[in-house]
Amino acid sequence: MDPFDGFDIDIQSFDIQRLVSVYPDKDGINWWTKAWFNGKKRGERAVEINRELAIRFIHDSIGKDEWLEEYYPRQMEVLHAALAQTREQVIKQLRQTFT
């Protein structure tokens, strides 16, 4: 039996910044979401969203990672791959320590 079977790394435990915002245009008619990963200044492209979704996000009815998965799936795929790689490295180090 592998003692590390099911070992999971909490995404919040690593310094992989994920910032997201929602904002309206100057007339408050069109709404947009924008995301930044790993502290990049420029950020990802803005995506148009509807007002109802923006308000739900603002009121924390939709989680940040769920939001990012929906609107920035490619970037979240990269993030999950990086976490999986980190998980494997941690497990390898732990196995070396305890064997």
Could you tell me if residue 41 is inside a domain?
A: yes
**Total of domains in the chain:** 1
Could you tell me if residue 1 is inside a domain?
A: no
Of 37, 48, 41, which Cα lies nearest the Cα of 83? 37
Could you tell me if residue 39 is inside a domain?
A: yes
Average pLDDT (9-34) is 84
Please report which confidence band the pLDDT of residue 85 belongs to, taking 50, 70 and 90 as the band edges. confident
Domain of residue 31 covers 11-98
Could you tell me if residue 4 is inside a domain?
A: no
Could you tell me if residue 3 is inside a domain?
A: no
The pLDDT tens digits for 58-73 are 999 999 999 999 999 9
Could you tell me if residue 6 is inside a domain?
A: no
Average pLDDT (1-23) is 70
Could you tell me if residue 71 is inside a domain?
A: yes
